[in-house]
Chains A and B, each alone.
With several copies, the nearest count.
Chain A
Amino acid sequence: MNIHEYQARAILRDHGIPVPEGFVAETPGEVRRAAEEIGAQVVVKAQVHAGGRGKAGGVKLASTPAEAQELAGAILGMEIKGHAVRKVLVGPAETIASEAYVGIVLDRAQQADAVMVSPAGGVDIEEVAATNPAAIMTRRIDPRYGLFDHQAGELGRFLYPEAEKAKQARSAAAILQKLYEAYLGSGATLAEINPLIVNGAGEVLAIDAKMNIDDNALFRLPQIEALRDPEAEDPAETAARAAGLSYVRLDGNIGCCVNGAGLAMATMDLVKHYGGEPANFLDIGGSSNPAKVVAALELITADSAVSSVLFNIFGGITRCDDVARGIVQATDSFDLQIPITIRLTGTNQAEGLAILARRGFQALSDMDGAVRAAVELGG
């Protein structure tokens, strides 16, 4: 799950990390009032689940409340990488003596969380990693022991190596310890501050914050689940999640309904292989519940770009008769205007085929043939 910058900042602040004050606003008028409250130059930042906001014009500096209001008018409602901006964060424009990057991220290859820091902050850290890897220091965290003080201290000194910046180095070390607490306490797989600045007064402050949350951890973190912003997510994906489906909308025309994530990806790939374009990723999961099939078909057909529906079911735990029942239920309850191709094999295959045959559906038993047929039918 993604959360907004302003939410991540609040989490960091709750863990004792120094974050400048900020106001969330949904209208230009609110932005003006926030800027008046701050009483100084402000930054207005789009709150969307997408990177590259600055380049897209979603981050602006305003000298007066009136200017802030005007700029917010432009930012609110704009689209950044397909995400409509509905909220902005308004905060004081800090004087910046230096910018650093600090982040904690799940390192899959090392099977551990890792802290990364770089004195080259304010830019994309992947770019720094590619062009100037010596400017990054990384330390693995042993989850049994946590981030050691000496690790945090070394990372802090890497950011601020000058003897006269010993205070900033200690601040950064303390911030890293708190960032790891915030990361753990939020079920995060990414928590980064970019930039971490030294301001004119020599204080170390977190200006921007980003956190990604492990969906699997949400069941025990209701306070984090509550940060979910349904407005910032695709309504179809929200509906899919509510129905217990795993769904990702894509740009094509072949609607896919598959059991199992790996098979669903392989089905999309095969659609493409045979010249089609998948309209979605959709995994109905392992359990065979006809209601899920109905919900899946509703989701797929709600996408007006879909011109052909493909079912690819390899029954293991999923029972073919249940899927067939779901298809029958769905086509009973609404008028399917587009062709449907069904591949059904595995557990209770014969029963499933019989149920479908009774309604005039003919099912295929091999994946390749079904995908080819669906692509052809999609035109």
Chain B
Amino acid sequence: MGIFIGGDTKLIVQGITGRDGSFHARQMIGYGTQVVAGVTPGRGGKAFDDAVPVFDTVAEAVAETGANASVVYVPARFAADAGFEAISAGVELVVIITEGVPVADMLRLLPYAREHGARIVGPNCPGLIVPGVCKVGILPGNIVAEGPAGIVSRSGTLTYEVIDCLTKAGIGQSACVGIGGDPIVGTSFVDCLEAFENDPRTAAVALIGEIGGTDEQVAAEYVSKHMTKPVVGFIAGRSAPPGRRMGHAGAIISGAEGTAAEKVRSFQENGIAVAERPVEVADLLGARL
């Protein structure tokens, strides 16, 4: 049940005693996520909010609680190491919320994850939510609703915008995955599309892309070749100039590569209906359910 997370997710919060980590740990617990442990080196032995045991290391947390997933809220300079630690400890899913992680760190972390059969989501992402079941990250639980639409996106608030439109249009979500706005991320559009295709609760998928790189084009080809479920798309950054980083480290048109026009064309050529405005995603998706 769910995409990468679900009712059997037993979550560690890395950086649980930090400002962001503690805030979102409470939000996740409030949403019903099984937060089984926190990790902050040097703070082992305490309990977070008198409820969640805190450990010095992920290995101890896994040994004591049987955790199988972790979410990382530590500062950028420690984020990749937190990922290495979680994977070394046998964690299968590591969601890195942290923004500002050096690309070079991710280039080293991803092969480590592959070697160990672990999945990284992010970095610089809002995480995942399976409405009514489990939330890992920072996606606001109050805007989602249970339903048949799978959402995958490179951005944060734009995703909230789309989710909000869907919910208001009466279209609930099977799962929402923010894969992150960096040039190198652990989980791709294709990974998510494949999971949605195999997820019985998902009937259609919205793919929210943006300028930079070629992930959307690769995803479009995947949709055309491997998906039976309808997919609708949106691309942010049609009005962005080339060569300038638009906030996200990955949102940059390099030379002729990564333009919105190219991505929109690729969507259209591969049978993905493209919304002009965020609110149209709900219209297009509604028409396909």
Contact = CB atoms under 8 A, between A and B. Distances in A.
Direct contact of A and B (CB under 8 A): yes
Given A112-B107, A269-B238, 17 more contacts: A106-B103, A143-B107, A148-B81, A148-B84, A149-B81, A150-B58, A157-B42, A219-B100, A246-B246, A258-B157, A262-B154, A262-B156, A262-B157, A270-B277, A281-B246, A314-B160, A314-B161
B183 A219 contact: no
Contacts of B238: 269, 272
Interface residues of A, number: 61
A316 to B, nearest CB: 5
A58 interface: no
Interface stretch (A24-32, A34-42, A201-209, A210-218): A210-218
B218 interface: yes
Contacts of B23: 317
B239 A216 contact: no
A113 B103 CA distance: 10
Interface in B156-174: 156-161, 164
Interface string B240-260: 110011111111000110001
A228 interface: no
B184 A111 contact: yes
Given A265-B236, A265-B240, A345-B164, A143 B42 contact: no
A108 interface: yes
Nearest to A130: B256
A367 interface: yes
B104 A217 contact: yes
Q: For this complex, into which size category does the number of interface residues on chain B fall?
A: 35 or more
Contact of B84 (A126, A150, A246, A316): A150
Interface of B: 23, 41-42, 56-58, 76-78, 81-82, 84-85, 88, 99-104, 106-108, 110-112, 126, 138-140, 143, 153-161, 164, 181-184, 208, 210-215, 218, 234, 236-241, 244-251, 255-256, 260, 276-279
B239 A268 contact: yes
A216 B102 contact: yes
Nearest to A274: B277
A266 interface: yes
A273 B234 CA distance: 14
B155 A260 contact: yes
Contact of A367 (B126, B161, B183, B256): B161
Contact of B158 (A154, A157, A189, A260): A260
Nearest to B44: A157
A150 B214 contact: no
A150 B244 contact: no
